[in-house]
Structure 1
């Protein structure tokens, strides 16, 4: 059985497939760099209408 942390870290096969598709597309466009960002705790994905300038996320030391 997976712990909560392991479950969060395990990527969906669809996520991996979509990422690989994006990498292939970027290579076809002669891109040399890709920026990857994790946005799971992003303000715009939490409360609808939240202002990202005043509603910044707060992280624990573990995060």
Structure 2
């Protein structure tokens, strides 16, 4: 999906008051992260998996 379709899709989900889980490739994070309530980043390295919550607003403050 392009940037505009992502925004419109998330507006629709919010208007319906649905709770969704979105899985997206890294290149789409910048479009999605500011529009959702919670962001979890899942990283797999070797045989370990790391799940980290982050707030895009805090990243902009740095």
Q: Larger helix proportion, structure 1 or 2?
A: 2
Higher strand fraction (1 or 2):
2
Give your verdict on TM over 0.5: no
Q: Using CA pairs below 8 Å that are at least 6 residues apart, which structure has the higher relative contact order?
A: 2
TM-score, length-scaled by structure 2: 0.32
